[in-house]
Amino acid sequence: MSEAMVDTDFAARTDGYRRELLAHCYRMLGSVQDAEDLVQETLLRAWRARADFDETRAGMRTWLYRIATNACLTALEQRGRRPMPAGLGHAPGEDPREALVHGGEIPWLQPIPDSLLADPATAALTQGSLRLALVAAMQLLPARQRAVLVLREVLDWPAAQVAQALDMSPAAVNSALQRARKTLRENGITEDEVTESAEQRTIVDNYATAFRNADLAALEKLLADDVTMEMPPMLNWYLGRMAYRGFMARVFDTRGTDWRLLPVGANGQPALAAYVRDGEGTYVLHTLQVFTIRDGLIAGMIAYQVEEIFRIFDLAPRLP
């Protein structure tokens, strides 16, 4: 086989891992654009080092994940964490009609479209591990703890393999994993949060119907007692059914009750693109709303009103 054919085959093989590497880098970084950049960097590093790749020592997938993880760790040295409003230390709002406060240039945690991860191999690897609450909690971890958690818990690598990839001892890997798990528990992240996707979609469909009807009582019945509402780029956030209902009453009073809601997938969770009718009779994109479902109720809703997010999800700015 000629050298050109070998190089072409190598490029095709590495490119086949692009989607799952994107999911991996996203978990580490909390940003779709940064993750896409790091996947490109990973594949470039792999191409440059292709002569050193020895499949008898490590498989292609393991080798690429090792390159990607270390690229992410290097990137995180220059980046701060990507928070959500509830994670900034501010108390939840007490008055749902209070003035909204913009967060300025805070680099918010981004959702990721399911469409970027839509293949069977990626779906198997990402089931539940990309939900926004988990990725947000992971932002609280030091970068190396974050890497250990992903490699051990998501990819199921043995401690010795993680130690080799991160230049740590197995004992240090196990210690980092214990500390990471403790942080997640302290932030309310548990393994049983993953709800059957069909049930999630049904609940959010019912929510959409109640939203279109401006039916506050029906909306309230779908909410958990401790439901949270966050609205990047605004710093305000709310906790509890009554605060949520009060804010929705404010929305209907100020923006009207004529809405269209289109289903979207984000982080393996149900989401809605919300469009509100303007004075000219067209529907204007208002928010991307991502839902967390727990025990058959909506436990959290994040309403993004960020142009960058709209572009990532390729949402039309207007509907007829």
Per-residue confidence (pLDDT) for residue 10, from 0 to 100: 78
The full DSSP string for 13-75 is HHHTTHHHHHHHHHHHHS-HHHHHHHHHHHHHHHHHTGGG--TTTS-HHHHHHHHHHHHHHHH
- Rounded Cα gap, residues 57 and 63, in angstroms: 9
Residue whose structure tokens are 């928070």: 83
Is the CB of residue 180 less than 8 Å from the CB of residue 146? yes
- Rounded Cα gap, residues 42 and 36, in angstroms: 10
Domain extents for the chain?
82-140+193-320
Per-residue confidence (pLDDT) for residue 180, from 0 to 100: 94
Per-residue confidence (pLDDT) for residue 13, from 0 to 100: 83
Residue whose structure tokens are 């509402």: 229
Helix, strand, coil % in the chain, rounded to nearest 5: 50, 15, 30
Q: In the CATH scheme, what architecture does the domain 82-140+193-320 have?
A: Roll (3.10)
Average confidence (pLDDT) per 10 residues, the chain, 320 residues: 60 87 95 96 90 77 94 91 92 95 95 83 62 90 95 92 94 96 86 65 96 98 97 97 98 96 94 94 96 94 97 95
- Rounded Cα gap, residues 224 and 213, in angstroms: 20
Shortest CA distance to 82 belongs to which of 311, 317, 266, 309? Answer: 309
Q: Which amino acid is residue 229, in one-letter code?
A: M
200: phi then psi, degrees, rounded to nearest 5: -60, -45
* Whole-prediction pTM: 0.90
The full DSSP string for 70-95 is HHHHHHHTT------GGGGTPPPPS-
Q: Which amino acid is residue 84, in one-letter code?
A: M
